[in-house]
């Protein structure tokens, strides 16, 4: 079971989203059409099948709009749902329910889409022992939420930011003039708890990285044959991560080479939103 996000992580985002939508004058449509005393029962439902993420965040949108709105979860984050299945039961002042609707659905649709995409890849590589991870290609301000959605889909997280692991990339190598120099500089400055990973484009760079004793090697945009060769060269000495150009169609092929991790920016930058809606009555 995926550990829930603490409300302090998402409540500021929910509040800002509501402020953005309400603008300077509030929901002038709902306020002019619906009586202030009117109350309603509604359900948030999945319009298409998928994996759910973000139910507490969607619930927070309604509760932030009006603390008297009652929200009951009908499903759980990380669960698979069918089209038409209920996700949340909502009851309270109609104005609050309708004014918070779009913000709640935006969070739920975006995060559910990421969870669903992740589950697709996890299922595709099932039985290989390969971990499916995301990258830092996330929506600004939403990283913690989107990485949570990846976990809801059965995936794992890569580093959360620039401060929790060393990942030497091609531009670092170009600036200092070589793989060995970059690794030696990083290892001399990193703390004893900080792991060092280096990105390589060729098997020659891979051999150089292995000689330096790094913790992990990112195999960037390599062919399937070169991935197999890299696995043989490593002999289990380091964690091998395949990244770059890994699509849902190619994930199983890459996993079969024997790498330890496949990382896909696609999970967070291109996953289609899960179709969800609010039905009143």
By three-state DSSP, how is residue 52 classified?
coil
Active-site residue among 27, 101, 146, 199? 199
Mark whether 220 is an active-site residue. yes
Among residues 231, 239, 236, 222, the alpha carbon closest in space to that of 256 is found at: 231
Active-site residue among 11, 170, 181, 220? 220
Active-site residue among 39, 102, 136, 250? 102
Mark whether 189 is an active-site residue. no
Mark whether 199 is an active-site residue. yes
Structural contact between residues 119 and 154, judged by C-beta atoms closer than 8 angstroms: yes
Residue 133, beta-bridge partner list: 156, 263
Active-site residue among 137, 159, 187, 250? 137
Distances in Å between the alpha carbon of 237 and those of 20, 67, 232? 50, 55, 10
Structural contact between residues 79 and 121, judged by C-beta atoms closer than 8 angstroms: no
Assign residue 177 a region (left: φ > 0; alpha: ψ between -120 and 50; beta: otherwise). Answer: left
Mark whether 187 is an active-site residue. no
Structural contact between residues 194 and 213, judged by C-beta atoms closer than 8 angstroms: no
In whole angstroms, give the CA distance from residue 58 to residue 55.
5
Active-site residue among 7, 169, 204, 279? 169
Q: Using CB atoms within 10 A of its CB, is residue 186 exposed (0-12), middle (13-18) or buried (19+)? A: buried
Catalytic residues: 102, 137, 169, 199, 220
């Amino acid at each position: 079971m995926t550990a829930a996000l603490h409300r302090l992580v998402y409540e500021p985002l929910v509040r800002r989203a509501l402020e953005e939508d309400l603008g300077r004058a509030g929901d002038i449509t709902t306020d002019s059409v619906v009586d202030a005393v009117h109350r309603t029962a509604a359900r948030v439902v999945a319009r298409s099948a998928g994996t759910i993420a973000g139910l507490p965040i969607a619930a927070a949108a309604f509760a932030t709009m009006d603390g008297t709105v009652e929200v009951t979860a009908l499903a759980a984050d990380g669960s698979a749902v069918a089209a038409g299945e209920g996700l949340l039961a909502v009851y309270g002042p109609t104005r609050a329910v309708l004014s918070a609707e779009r913000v709640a659905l935006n969070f739920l649709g975006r995060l559910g889409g990421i969870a669903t995409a992740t589950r697709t890849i996890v299922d595709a590589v099932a039985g290989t022992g390969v971990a499916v991870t995301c990258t830092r290609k996330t929506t600004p301000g939403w990283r913690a939420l989107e990485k949570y959605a990846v976990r809801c889909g059965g995936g794992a997280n890569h580093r959360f930011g620039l401060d929790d692991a060393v990942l030497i990339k091609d531009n670092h190598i170009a600036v200092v003039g070589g793989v060995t120099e970059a690794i030696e500089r990083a290892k001399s400055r990193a703390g004893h708890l900080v792991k060092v990973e280096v990105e390589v484009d060729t098997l020659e760079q891979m051999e150089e990285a292995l000689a330096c004793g790094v913790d992990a090697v990112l195999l960037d945009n390599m062919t399937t044959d070169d991935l197999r060769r890299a696995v043989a060269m490593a002999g289990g000495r380091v964690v091998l991560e395949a990244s770059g150009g890994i699509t849902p169609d190619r994930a199983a092929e890459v996993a079969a080479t024997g790498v330890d991790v496949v990382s896909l920016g696609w999970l967070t930058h291109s996953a289609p939103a899960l179709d969800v809606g609010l039905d009143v009555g």
